[in-house]
Amino acid sequence: MERTEIIVQLKAIVGDAYVSDAPEDLFIYSRDQGVQEPHLPDGVVMPGSASEVVSIIRFAGRENIPVVPMGGGLVLSGLTVPLKGGLVLDMKRMNRILEVNESSHYAVVEAGTSQGMLDAYLRKHHPQLKHSLPDAPPAATIAGNIAIHGSGHLSQSEGGFHSEMVTGLEVVLPTGELVKLGSCSTVPAWFSRAPLPDLAGLFLGWNGTTGVITKVGIKLFPRPKYHDVLVYMTEDIDLAPMVLGRVIGTSMAEDINYALAPKPDYLRGFQMTVVNFTANTEEELAFKRKTLRSVMKDLYETRDSGFMPVPPNMKAGFLEAPQKALSKFADVRKGGGFEYVGAIMPIERIPDACRAGMEITARHGITYSLGARIIGRGNAAMFFFAYPFNRVDMDEVERVKKALEETNETALALGGIPWKTEVQGQQAILRQMEPGTYALMKRIRAVLDPAGIMNPGNWEVA
């Protein structure tokens, strides 16, 4: 079918205002802020409802048109770049918050609902509740984040990756059927994925290759009144597992982050473990502060490490979620380029990951921020190798690209798994994956998406 006819058909589904093949729109949707090669889509469509998504997917299936679902478009590693052309399915119009259940602590949102929207809504209407916020800009969507196994400021204390906080999903399959997964499939409430067979996993971590998420049930958590932060400073990377282990062991931290960077100069060579903790009373907060300090006593008494005094202006930044400092760092080289390898790895590999990141960046002459967020009471860490760059400096872009490829390989070699990684990283993972696992992935995709229209090029061996 000719592109003009495709556009006519799509306009008939969603209305004239929500379809475009204008060159300027295609240019924007052909790329993200990372270093991946742009690929032009044939069109962009913004559905306003699940039924419109059904119609679009059925149409695309009939015509064999690739479809790339997109949330905030902030993934950085090209996962919403249409590698094989076709349609970008921009979900941002579907941004309604459908339900907040105060008793059972969950919210149901449409797939285009952003992190900022849900956070603002909860602060206004349900101030006693919050959800786990990633350190992405607030425009990142809830659905996009769970689809890539994102994590956030409650991942340490409240159960792990955001995909583990999903209580239910509504999904349009690549063949056009609308399905519900979790309790909402059986009763009119979105409280849990158990005790049913857990089909949500067919759509979590698949980068939009198995269907289009249209609604998400997501866990909410109490928002305690009091909040404070402690920052533990070390000068020995090898102390990281011990320091983190002790903090985790108190069961008192809400969020635990570990970071090192060459800038500002007064922090070069030092590492900071940032421990956020909350409480319902001042007494509880004081008790937690005291306990968190006490588990470090023998360490700080050696004078080789210690808690950093945090002045009020600095503290305000540490208490933020999401952390604005990360967005600022993303533009430290100016020119708006930023990409990182996030690698999910065991905590004991953090020191080696730090050394590897510093070695790779030194060799490629680029700057870095390295660090880790603790996931699920220490089950894993989301280690980030973040490399900002100047987008107009093509030499720097190339060096960053090479560094990212090496970092993916290094993360795997260290026993980690690159997260939301670009195609080359996915292929590196698949090469290392048990053949039986990969074969199962292929079979599942073939069953769900016989026409192969969903985000083709992702999770495929070249």
Partner 1 sequence: MQPLVFDPEICLACESVDCIMRCQYIDLDQARAKQEHDRIVRGEMSSILKDCVTCYACEEYCPSGNHPFYHIVEQQERLGVHPVPRPIEKSQVIMMAPRGRIGKKLVSPPVIDMCFFDIMKGGIRGRLFDGATTIGGSDVFCNLMFLHFARNSTIRERLPLVMDNIMRFHLEPSGVRELICYHDECYGTYTSWAPAFGIEVPFRPVHLFDYLYHRLLELKADIKPLNAKVAYQRPCSNRLCPETDHFVDDIFGLIGAQRPKRTYEYGNALCCGGVPEAAQRFDLVEEIRGKNVADMKEAGVQYCVFNCPFCFWTLAEPVAKAGIFPVMMSDLCLMALGE
Q: Which parts of this chain interact with partner 1 (CB under 8 A)?
A: 233-235, 264-270, 290, 293, 300-301, 303-309, 311-313
Shortest Cβ distance from residue 381 to partner 1 (Å)? Answer: 21
Measured from the CB atom, the residue of 188 and 264 that comes closer to partner 1 is 264
> Any idea what the Cα angle at residue 260 is, between residues 257 and 266, rounded to 5°?
125
Q: With b meaning 16 or more CB within 10 Å and e meaning fewer, what string describes 222-237? A: ebbeebbbbbbbbeeb
- From edge to edge, which strands make up the β-sheet containing 97-101? 97-101, 106-110, 212-219, 166-172, 178-182
In angstroms, the CA 130 to CA 105 distance is 9
Q: State which residue, 24 or 298, has the beta carbon closest to partner 1.
A: 298
Report the residue number, 178 or 267, with the smaller CB distance to partner 1. Answer: 267
**Range list of β-strands (E), 158-292:** 166-172, 178-182, 212-219, 221-222, 226-234, 255-260, 271-279
**Angle, helices 394-413/350-364, rounded to nearest 10 degrees:** 150
Q: Closer CB to partner 1, residue 268 or residue 443?
A: 268
* Smallest separation, CB 307 to partner 1 (Å): 6
If you search the block for the tokens 């500002």, which residue do you land on? 264
CB of 300 or CB of 438, closer to partner 1: 300
* Minimum distance, C-beta of residue 282 to partner 1, in the bound complex (Å): 8
- Report which of 232, 237, 233, 226 is spatially closest to residue 247, judged by C-alpha positions: 232
Work out how close the CB of 306 gets to partner 1 at its nearest, in angstroms, rounded to a whole number.
3
Least distance from partner 1 to the Cβ atom of residue 427, Å: 41
The nearest distance, CB 235 to partner 1, in angstroms, is 4
Between CA 134 and CA 405 the distance in angstroms is: 24
Nearer to partner 1, 258 or 459 (CB): 258
Min CB(288)–partner 1 separation in Å: 13
* Between 124 and 297, CB nearer to partner 1: 297
Q: In the 8-state DSSP scheme, what is residue 349?
A: G
Burial of 104 (0-12, 13-18, 19+ CB in 10 A): middle
